[in-house]
Amino acid sequence: MKVGVIGGSGYVGGELARLLLPHPEVELTTVTSRSNVGEFLFTVHPNLRGATQLKFTPPNISQISDNCDLVFTAMPHGKSLELVPQLMETGIKIIDMGADYRLHNPADYDKWYNWKHTHPELLDEAVYGIPELHREEIKNAKLIGCPGCMSTATILGLAPLVKAGVIEKNRIVADVKIGSSGAGQKPTIASHHPERAGGVRPYNVVTHRHVAEVEQELNLLTDEKVTVCFTPHAVNMIRGILSTIHAFLKEPQSTKDIWKYYRSMYQNEHFIRFVKFKKGPYQLPNPKITMGTNYVDIGFELDPRTRRIIAFSAIDNLMRGASGQGVQCMNIMLGFEETTGLECQGYHPM
Amino acid sequence: MKVGVIGGSGYVGGELARLLLPHPEVELTTVTSRSNVGEFLFTVHPNLRGATQLKFTPPNISQISDNCDLVFTAMPHGKSLELVPQLMETGIKIIDMGADYRLHNPADYDKWYNWKHTHPELLDEAVYGIPELHREEIKNAKLIGCPGCMSTATILGLAPLVKAGVIEKNRIVADVKIGSSGAGQKPTIASHHPERAGGVRPYNVVTHRHVAEVEQELNLLTDEKVTVCFTPHAVNMIRGILSTIHAFLKEPQSTKDIWKYYRSMYQNEHFIRFVKFKKGPYQLPNPKITMGTNYVDIGFELDPRTRRIIAFSAIDNLMRGASGQGVQCMNIMLGFEETTGLECQGYHPM
Amino acid sequence: MKVGVIGGSGYVGGELARLLLPHPEVELTTVTSRSNVGEFLFTVHPNLRGATQLKFTPPNISQISDNCDLVFTAMPHGKSLELVPQLMETGIKIIDMGADYRLHNPADYDKWYNWKHTHPELLDEAVYGIPELHREEIKNAKLIGCPGCMSTATILGLAPLVKAGVIEKNRIVADVKIGSSGAGQKPTIASHHPERAGGVRPYNVVTHRHVAEVEQELNLLTDEKVTVCFTPHAVNMIRGILSTIHAFLKEPQSTKDIWKYYRSMYQNEHFIRFVKFKKGPYQLPNPKITMGTNYVDIGFELDPRTRRIIAFSAIDNLMRGASGQGVQCMNIMLGFEETTGLECQGYHPM
Amino acid sequence: MKVGVIGGSGYVGGELARLLLPHPEVELTTVTSRSNVGEFLFTVHPNLRGATQLKFTPPNISQISDNCDLVFTAMPHGKSLELVPQLMETGIKIIDMGADYRLHNPADYDKWYNWKHTHPELLDEAVYGIPELHREEIKNAKLIGCPGCMSTATILGLAPLVKAGVIEKNRIVADVKIGSSGAGQKPTIASHHPERAGGVRPYNVVTHRHVAEVEQELNLLTDEKVTVCFTPHAVNMIRGILSTIHAFLKEPQSTKDIWKYYRSMYQNEHFIRFVKFKKGPYQLPNPKITMGTNYVDIGFELDPRTRRIIAFSAIDNLMRGASGQGVQCMNIMLGFEETTGLECQGYHPM
């Protein structure tokens, strides 16, 4: 199978190239970038030195359709809107890494993104690319809206609790900590090393767009309307997300009960690890241990005193929060073993 | 006035020495340390090179009482229990930096610390050393229980909301991010650089002892019983605490209303800064901007959609979270200008 | 005395404001910035919140001369060229923080900066602002060219050895490690947190412009022509410079001998600390311990096996490497105690 | 083939397990650890959660010999001394990750390690495990002394220059920057996060034991005796080494000449990448780009003005500086493709 990456000069595009180049079932034929046409991939992604002589090409639809059976579109939000329908017409399968095809309700784009979706007809067709929740739909999908990084961690941490109906639906807090690569490769003052290193910066604390996805997905699991209070914090790490989920139990629950809910959804999921240990510094999920991997590390603690559950969901934002999950979707769409090319076990320490 | 530091080899003791040496109203005569007797302070605290030729002495009660009008006891938790009464008998004023005299209810030591307090009679007398809440009592105190670092940030962020009675009392979440110096200067695997750097580690997520102080202080401000869900996270910074407080409003409130509650308590407080800006990367509190200072930076955002308030309280854990606040208490107790020796404005960037 | 900062929106300008606002002998009347006219200083320098209501003004020569006896010009390199002569005509004293008036030989600007100096007549008059080397000249100077940050550390570490004539003059290596604030506050890909954190990046490894200053100053101390091999590395810290100086001894020297050379130059220098201890993690200079201070920490080790001396010189690049040194020069020029406003002792840990 | 790791609870042992578990040609049967007998590997190495149910066993020689064809000994320096001969007697092949079998001259242990080697007869037999220098010997070796991390980077950076005879042999400076994992997983004050983060700490600046290896290997390439001035600095990163090599050319050389020397040694070496680019922030080697990989990134710059060459050699200290190189040696010894199990291409950013 021949695959391509449209928008290959960013961190997500580079990570896709890193994963696809050695993937045994696909051939990466095309990586486009308007700003780097003609340059070697490794000029922008220095880790690819020695791995490939591939060069960036311009995003030409007919060349792409000639050379690719499936493409990943890794564009800034809003930039895939028109490109995706054009590519779909050629019959190519698409995994869109941006936000343009994640939400099913066009009105949510007005509300959360402040723009009108120009192809609402595709929003029904697009599958939200979390395999643990939509594996069957992904198998037959022509268009995947690959989830946001913080959304992925938060949805997967919350889904079993919401589905089980054991938490108060309007008192859910997701306090998220995220590394600097989450903001992309364009330098800004907020990601300038002297400003970013050594602090904790709350941002978009009530209006982050990932809320829309999180609530969309959780509300598919329950009849009661769920709202999520979602507050991201930029912390001093490069990769990684920890979503700390504070929720209040309707009735007291035992640890065993809670595990039952998690297991009922994730028991056979290769990429979900349950993390709740009694010794050492890694008793609960820590994104550090997921770096480079496609794992979602999930754990929790009960606080009977306040009838609260604190659940933790940790991922590598560029892997499970973006490119790794995209490749996982591709594997499912193309009928490969779901873990192919995603075997990295992580590092200790890194 | 002559002052001393009992237990001067730790981070809190060193920070006290740094503040007291140039303090224009006191003379630092004595710094004790069992493990470093006879050594120069600067062997343990290299920043004091060039500042003093003072040496560590053994903790001898009569020598201390001869040479000090007031002492700071900066010992591991549980180690001040017996020392404090002995020192009080000599008539010295004491600011205890540990937890042994912070709680007024002896039963709270059984519950949160798992030991029985041996001098419950002193717990009533001891004043909890947050000047903004107990300034008058501090003026006349003989014994101060100086607050925990994460408690300080959390209490000051929550107090006006609790006092105003506008938030749900049993759905308060404090999600705390703290730097590595908070765990003290004894190397452990959790603070080992390869393990600590580059991650986010939740710890003591429901049982942290600071809860006891936080609830004690907040319950003084209201008739309804308040509980606080308190979850610390170790992040990749050296100094600093950000307490992110998620609370649910009983009734909708305007931003103006909320400022009114904060101003009514803190309007004239030199060391409390209100942080809510519309531009740049520091629109809300970030502990980075408090490093080296005694400030508490407080800000908030309302989320009308979920009827939530998110308040942020940022401090330097060794300054406002420990030694700075201790010196502030000393200034009040000894009748000096409250800001003396605490003028550092912070750095940008640092 | 009334002082101003021309170009106050950068890190050096902000640090000057931080130092000058509480300075007991001067009044900061004016801080200019083309891009932030009318905004409060604290919008750009959040650490100044609570410290001042001063606003940025446009750089108007006559207003500046009306309101200032002395100004610091903190402009990008090349931007002070014309401004300085204009200001000098009004009789104001000037401390130029940029490179435009550091070099005495106009040809050095052609060679190292690739532009022709338009006011070569001022280069003789300008004093290179390292007090330990040029204190008497600074006293009477009208124009100071304040040294580069890496130059300061390297020159002060090398000067006694060069003056003593004990090292080979053409085999001197300065291997410099510098924090990210050294590159200024403008975001670039090289200082983008995901790229900068967690690595070591050599840059300008043979052509760094600071070489010109370093050689200029060292050659004033000796008759033999000295060349310096100077190689900077960007490391994962915000503030701080360590210049590791590798030099080869003409003849074997004892540790005692070497100290004699250092003491003969720096014995009574308040801001130079000799660092060579036998215990603990800070036996040799480490920029971490100089953060926030005006100190230069200098130490060395002899390697008799290879007849090498390794000298270490550590500073805070924004303090002793820029604004702190500027204020030190100002104190000398205006007849104040040299240490006024520069008393910060540093932090442990920070 | 069955392999084991003796001393599997440290960082090097854990990294070996990570590499050997998915290695297609070997089975990891045994991982020993005195202190963790009976525990799962993943209790100590949390990245291995989900990868293996293997447990630590005690280091029993006969069990090891029953279950392993080859073992890696990853013990603290001095601890392999007696173990290695015992294991060799059973016919097992050994790759010793410590320093006990790296040096061929027993006197070097007296000189650099301050102890007497008890099995000098094995020092001749042991092969120094840098494949690019000793591939043929490694093929037939029974015992490999796997190089030190900083030695590997420094030797590979210098070898072509020494072999070509173009640099002054007694003016070679290696100024090394190393991450915190290099000091192992035992917490110490020097690696305590508050002390280590945010600084640059020179250590063992003239007496580091890696000098012995570096000089041993370089002197095999030339008739003139080479000495190396070797000075490590602990910097704020977890993994990674950059060895900056400052050397003086006997005669002027062109860039082309120097490439010729490097290519003549490394032209077909898969794991050596030449790094000298004209654009972007990674023009010269930066250890950040080698994280997780077995690459050695080598580049250089000429400074005709001072007739100096500055060569840079960057590696991941736990991969190419330890476990990765160990596995590379194993692949050669056992006749596998040399790159097997070492295909990780690195990350951008990480």
Q: pLDDT tens digits, residue range D259-270?
A: 999 999 999 999
Which alpha helices (DSSP H) does chain A contain, by range?
A: 11-20, 41-44, 61-67, 83-89, 106-108, 121-125, 131-139, 149-164, 193-196, 210-219, 255-266, 324-333
Whole-number Å distance between alpha carbons of D309 and D300: 7
Question: Per residue in D212-221, is it b (16+ CB within 10 Å) or e — as a string?
Answer: bbbbbbbbeb
Express as a percent the part of chain B with pLDDT over 90.
Answer: 99
Task: Name which of D196, D200, D205 to mutate to probe chain C: the one with the most chain C Cβ atoms within 10 A of its Cβ.
Answer: D200
Whole-number Å distance between alpha carbons of B74 and B92: 15
Q: pLDDT tens digits, residue range C302-317?
A: 999 999 999 999 999 9
The model's confidence at residue A78, banded by pLDDT at 50, 70 and 90, is confident
Q: pLDDT tens digits, residue range C93-152?
A: 999 999 999 999 999 999 999 999 999 999 999 999 999 999 999 999 999 999 999 999
- Burial of A240 (C-beta count, 10 Å sphere; 0-12/13-18/19+): buried
Q: What is residue A21's predicted lDDT score, i.e. its pLDDT?
A: 98
Query: Minimal Cα distance from A203: which residue of B?
Result: B284
In what helix (H) or strand (E) does residue D31 lie, and over which residues does it extend?
strand D27-32
Residue B350: pLDDT above 90? yes
Q: What is residue C260's predicted lDDT score, i.e. its pLDDT?
A: 98
Contact criterion met (CB below 8 Å) for B173 and A173: yes
Active site residue A149: yes
Q: Which residues in chain C are contacts of A189 at CB distance < 8 A?
A: 185, 187
Residues of C with CB under 8 A from a CB of B: 11, 14-15, 18, 21-22, 43-51, 181, 185, 198, 238-239, 270, 273, 275, 277, 279-280, 282, 289, 291-293, 295, 297, 343-350
Mean pLDDT, chain D, integer: 97
Does CATH number 3.40.50.720 belong to domain C2-125? Answer: yes
Q: pLDDT tens digits, residue range A54-64?
A: 999 999 999 99
Residue C78: pLDDT above 90? no
The model's confidence at residue B77, banded by pLDDT at 50, 70 and 90, is confident
Q: pLDDT tens digits, residue range C26-47?
A: 999 999 999 999 999 999 999 9
Q: What is residue A236's predicted lDDT score, i.e. its pLDDT?
A: 98
Query: Quick check: A349 and D280 CB within 8 A?
Result: no
Average pLDDT score over residue span D174-202 = 97
Among residues B55, B50, B63, the alpha carbon closest in space to that of B22 is found at: B50
Average pLDDT score over residue span A124-140 = 98
> What is this structure's pTM?
0.98
Q: Which chains touch C (3 or more CB pairs under 8 A)?
A: A, B, D
Domain ranges of chain B: 2-125, 150-315
Candidate from B180, B194, B198 with C-beta closest to D194: B180
Query: Minimal Cα distance from A170: which residue of B?
Result: B306
Q: pLDDT tens digits, residue range A154-181?
A: 999 999 999 999 999 999 999 999 999 9
Q: What is residue A228's predicted lDDT score, i.e. its pLDDT?
A: 98
Residue A102: pLDDT above 90? yes
Amino acid at A163: K
Written out in words, the top-level CATH class of the domain with range A150-315 is: alpha beta
> Which residues, at least 6 apart from B143, have a Cβ–Cβ distance to it below 8 Å?
B84, B88, B93, B94, B96, B101, B122, B125, B126, B127
Query: 3-class secondary structure for B308-319?
Result: EEEEEEEECCCH
Candidate from A47, A50, A275 with C-beta closest to D347: A47
Q: What is residue B76's predicted lDDT score, i.e. its pLDDT?
A: 86
Q: pLDDT tens digits, residue range B103-133?
A: 999 999 999 999 999 999 999 999 999 999 9
CA dist list (Å): A45 to A16, A20, A227: 11, 14, 39
Look up the ipTM and state it.
Answer: 0.97
Q: What is residue D69's predicted lDDT score, i.e. its pLDDT?
A: 98
Transcribe D296-312 into DSSP letters: EEEEEEEEGGGTEEEEE
Catalytic residues of C: 149
Candidate from C170, C291, C308 with C-beta closest to D306: C170
Transcribe C246-292 into DSSP letters: EEEBSS---HHHHHHHHHHHHTT-TTEEE---SSSS-SS--GGGGTT
Q: What is residue C58's predicted lDDT score, i.e. its pLDDT?
A: 97
Q: Which chains touch B (3 or more CB pairs under 8 A)?
A: A, C, D
Q: What is residue D76's predicted lDDT score, i.e. its pLDDT?
A: 86
